[in-house]
Structure 1
Amino acid sequence: MGKVKGFLEYRREVPSDREPLERIKDWKEFHEHMTDEALGDQGARCMDCGTPYCHTGFMLSGMTSGCPIHNLIPEWNDYVYKGFWHEAYDRLMKTNNFPEFTGRVCPAPCEGSCVLGIIQPPVTIKNIECSIIEHAFKQGWVEPKKIAVRTGKKIAVVGSGPAGLAAADQLNKAGHSVTVYERDDRIGGLLMYGIPNMKLDKEAVVQRRVDLMEQEGVVFVVNTEIGVDFPAEKLTEEYDAVLLCTGATRPRDLDVEGRSLNGVHFAMDFLRESTKSVLTGGQPEISAKACDVIVIGGGDTGTDCVASSIRQGCKSVVQLEILPQPPLERQADNPWPEWPKTLKVDYGQEEAAALQGDDPRRYSMMTKKLIGDADGNLTGIEVSKVEWVKDDGRFMPRPVAGTEEILPAQLVLLAMGFLGPEDGALKALEVEQTERSTIKASYDDFSTSRQKVFAAGDARRGQSLIVWAINEGRAAAREVDRFLMGDTNLP
């Protein structure tokens, strides 16, 4: 590395955010920008560590360690330190189709496995990644590339989330004619409707990339659900290969008394309506305005519900998590380079604390029932504390007697994760599914039980990170290209 002792000279710095009480007044991205000089200092902190675990990308103890798309992180960190921004951009694009997405919304498992993180706060990899691609856009380096030779092969990609877009981008570059089918009215999948605008700007970031891909020859078809608006058989007849990237969007439900009351919704339905209203200027069908909101579930989706509820003008917001509060520091059973299971305060909790005076999360809490009025409208939620006890070798939550309480609520949002892909297109195409309902597809070639039909992303592996979806999309594109051409030059 250019600055051998940079990690001793510079401390970790991340971009400042707009003040919570200011940013909740709008839906704009809330991160500020750092100067090139400051970013160079952060790049200089990248050690000459010998074995850069940051780009290993494997699973440890069921968690992602390192970058699944194997970004060449030490290389572009060094280029940023030296001020060689175009070279940094070239290295970044060798492994990542959409660094403007991952640089904003990826949880950064690369930082969790950074070698410097053993003794100091890790290198600010995620921010440097985002800064490189935004620098490239600003300088005009990101331009549509002309595809010199077309193969004559036609490929249909079903689903326009990160896996579908990554696969489409790669297959288009290989010279195939690619059409992406999306059942929603805009391209992007969860990038468009599952992540709020203040985390990932739809027009300035997502649509910018979609427009670029369209200029390069990718065809996008919206408002088209396979098996409903477009016959599955026609899909396999008209295309030389079909790649399913439908995601894992079937939400986990809450089986308690009162579930059918008005005011109880899945988190993704709420977030989708919220983003639609931001883009169209209309009013969302599911609104948190003037409501006491209870978000059941943690994770990014729960945080996004908290932040969106605040921006819609909720009366109060509480986030319930059934798990205990994580520790402040790594524990002995969670060693580096595993993902650090420590307490983190995300943007939504920071905003709620600034507005309400305290972190909205309440840990080790179980929902016992939902309470409504005579008209079937939600009015409250009964909860109790739980303790985690071993039952047949497994830890299970057990309600603690005497801790029951009723919280006021006119809106409950269920953010408890996802169970797998929805069945519509899969049943229509008659592809075999696993016991977890995911598409049964080989990792080696991503082929399904049906000839010339392939699968990738969350639909194949289950709910995961955006960076894993990009990894799967790229790998599946490589195998589709091999299937069609007998060999492949795709990375």
Structure 2
Amino acid sequence: MGKQTGFMEYDRQTRKERDPSVRVADWDDYTAPLSEQEIQIQGARCMSCGVPTCHSGMEINGVTTGCPVYHLIPEWNQLVYEGKWKEALERAQEKNNFPEFTGIACPAPCEGACVLGINEPPVAIRTIERSIIEKGFEEGWVIPQPPQKRTGKKIAVVGSGPAGLAAAAQLNKAGHTVTVFERNDRIGGLLTYGIPEMKLSYDVVKRRVDILEKEGISFVTNTEIGKDYSVSKLEESFDAVILCGGATVHRDMQVEGSDLTGVYPAMDFLHANTKSLLDSDLGDSDYISAADKHVIVIGGGDTGTDCLATAIRHNCKSLTQFDIYDKKGLVRDDKTNPWPQYPIIHRVEYGHKEVASKLGDDPRAYAVMTKKFVGDQNGHIKEVHTVNVKLRYDEAGNKIREEIPGSEKVWPADLVLIAIGFSGPEQGLLEQLNIDRNPNTTVKADYGNYKTNIDGIFAAGDMRRGQSLIVWAINEGREVARECDRYLMGATDLP
């Protein structure tokens, strides 16, 4: 697709980043859009692949490759290149209810699987996707489309993250009456409270929620099923229930001193900051402040980077991010990480650039294992003890980290943020509903039919599959809607 020789003529270009030294003073989007002409040129880089791999999602060696919602990527690349933006929007929304979410916060496994990426920078798929949906909103093409008729069936969706919203959107299209329950005060789940404002603005989430509401979906906030709304009432009031509560149990560090004041799960830090920011522009001070503190972030992933970007905006004194892994290379290892796997390489993300602009250097420390936290006489964190490690594998292929003698170090710390992921879903509601679970605590429901052991109750997203990507949550939300519709009606036209 695109221009036949475009991939040879044009360089890859993604959304422009604002100056890091300037943007750390605000909470606005850290990027700025490309012009329409620049986006069309990026569409021209699509290669007319004989067998495109960008749009077919799968997992290879536990890593997502390609797009799990089977986005029609080559088609909308071509349409953008031709300037047919409305047609491109139709294609972009055909397989994905929320291109604006994935266009901002998805790590873009589609780009990792791009054929051009074998030996050149891949097509800027995520940038093009975001540009398409933003153009759609600007032109007034994205409008509420309520169903022509209602089936009379009522469905409860528990959780309003990407899986819950996708399930609700699809079931509403089928004519069912859908109610989404959210225990927080705003809809969006981790889209709202897990991703900071400068990366994914709540306005973007709210804009989509407003459309869904106008299409007929009911949203009930500040309501936790099993506490504020009984399980018995849920089962009596609805013909089917879909559980999309996510995997929100923080993974425990299990090291001495984890219970000290000043040691927090990353999501507690991010959630409180966003809520205070949205409620009062941080005026209520009801958040965990990093101001004038020595901050340690444990975990080298995206959530850790979001903590960096948030803490630097608080004007912290110092900022260090521990990564348990060695520093990666700048290009993928063709033996251990071949195309079309997502490239596991060294990346300098927005938060790293911001810290460097303000404090003078990339904040990461590699191959670092935390040994213990030490507190002061008042029980508040004052230092973190670490050791460097090297990774090897035993005969069974298990990872073994060996401590390097003499590499011990003590780091001053007033605030420690643990960003090492989630272990699974919360268990209280699942116990009340008598839902069967897997050994890792996720809901036992097969991929493809999403049925739990309780008739009429389905599960999807991270609650079923464990911690994963936004795009997998949308995939499962769409698919569970299809299976729920089939359960209620005997057949389904949903994709």
Interval of TM-score (by shorter of Structure 1 and Structure 2): over 0.9
Equivalent residue runs for 1:262-277 within 5 Å? 262-277=261-276
Deviations 1:159-206 (A, max 9, x none): 000000000000001000000001111100000100000000102x00
Is contact 1:369–1:383 with CA below 8 Å preserved after alignment? yes
1:222 aligns with 2:226: no
Counterpart residue number, 1:209: 208
Distance 1:486 1:335 in 2: 44
Counterpart check, 1:334 vs 2:337:
yes
The 1:413–1:3 alpha-carbon spacing in structure 2 relative to 1, beyond 3 Å, is same
Cα separation, 1, equivalents of 2:413 and 2:298: 12
Distance verdict in 2 for CA 1:390–1:443, change over 3 Å: closer
Deviations along 1:234-282, whole A, 9 cap, x unmatched?
A: 1111100000000001111111111111100000000000101110122
Structure 1 length-normalised TM: 0.99
> In the TM superposition, what are the counterparts of 1:3-42 in structure 2 within 5 Å?
3-42=3-42
Q: Is contact 2:2-2:46 (8 Å) kept?
A: no
- Residue 280 of structure 1 aligns to a residue in which SS? helix
Conserved? CA contact 1:226–1:428, under 8 Å: no
Distance 1:23 1:57 in 2: 35
Tell me the amino acid that sits aligned with residue 55 of structure 1: H
Kept after mapping to 1: 8 A contact 2:2/2:77: no
1:373-411 C-alpha deviation (Å, 9 max, x unpaired): 111111111111111233453221122121111111000
Q: Conserved in 2, the CA contact under 8 Å of 1:295 and 1:412?
A: yes
Classify the secondary structure of the residue corresponding to 1:53: coil
Partner in structure 2 of residue 178 of structure 1: 178
Aligned Cα root-mean-square deviation (Å): 0.9
What is the CA distance between 1:445 and its match in structure 2? 1.4
Aligned residues: 490
Residue 387 of structure 2 aligns with which residue? 384
- The alpha-carbon deviation at position 323 of structure 1 amounts to 1.2
Aligned positions of 1:59-458 closer than 5 A: 59-203=59-203, 205-281=204-280, 282-331=284-333, 332-391=335-394, 393=396, 394-458=398-462
Match of 1:56 in 2: 56
- Contact 1:40–1:82 at 8 Å: present in 2 too? yes
The answer to whether the 8 A contact 1:247-1:457 is kept is: yes
Letter in 2 for 1:232: V
1:306 aligned partner, one-letter code:
L
Match of 2:467 in 1: 463
CA distance in 2, matches of 1:412, 1:9: 47
Q: Distance in 1 between matches of 2:286 and 2:357?
A: 25
Q: Is the 8 A contact 2:2 2:43 kept in 1?
A: no
1:2, CA displacement in angstroms? 4.6
How far is the alpha carbon of 1:14 from its aligned partner? 1.3
Q: Distance in 1 between matches of 2:485 and 2:399?
A: 45
In structure 1, C-alpha distance between the alignment counterparts of 2:132 and 2:392, rounded to whole Å: 47
C-alpha separation in 1, matches of 2:146 and 2:182: 24
Identity of aligned residues (%): 55
Deviation of the 1:354 alpha carbon: 1.3
Q: Contact conserved, 1:225 with 1:425, CA < 8 A, in 2?
A: no
Q: Letter of the aligned partner of 2:27 in structure 1?
A: W
Would you say the 8 A contact 2:104–2:199 is kept in 1?
Answer: yes
Worse-matched range after superposition: 212-221 or 253-262: 253-262
> What residue in structure 2 maps to residue 47 of structure 1?
47
C-alpha separation in 2, matches of 1:69 and 1:390: 34
* C-alpha distance after superposition, 1:296-335 (max 9, x if no partner): 0111100000100001111111000111111111112211
Q: Secondary structure at the match of 2:157?
A: strand
Distance 1:177 1:110 in 2: 34
Q: Is the 8 A contact 2:297 2:419 kept in 1?
A: yes
Q: Is the 8 A contact 2:327 2:346 kept in 1?
A: yes
- Any unmatched runs of 5+ in structure 1? none
Q: Are the equivalent residues in 1 in contact too, given 2:266–2:307 (CA < 8 A)?
A: yes
Distance 1:423 1:434 in 2: 12
CA distance in 2 between counterparts of 1:23 and 1:321 reads 25
Q: What is the CA–CA distance in structure 1 between the aligned matches of 2:436 and 2:32, rounded to whole Å?
A: 47
Cα distance in 1 for partners of 2:444, 2:125 equals 34
**Partners of 1:401 and 1:453 in 2: how far apart?**
53
Q: 2: distance between equivalents of 1:73 and 1:259?
A: 45
Deviation at 1:15, TM superposition (A): 2.0
Return the alpha-carbon distance in structure 2 between the equivalents of residues 262 and 453 of structure 1: 40
AA aligned to 1:271 is L
SS of corresponding position for 1:54: coil
Letter in 2 for 1:336: W
User: Partners in 1 of 2:197 and 2:181 — Cα distance?
Assistant: 23
Structure 2 gap segments, 5+ residues each: none
SS at match of 2:329: coil
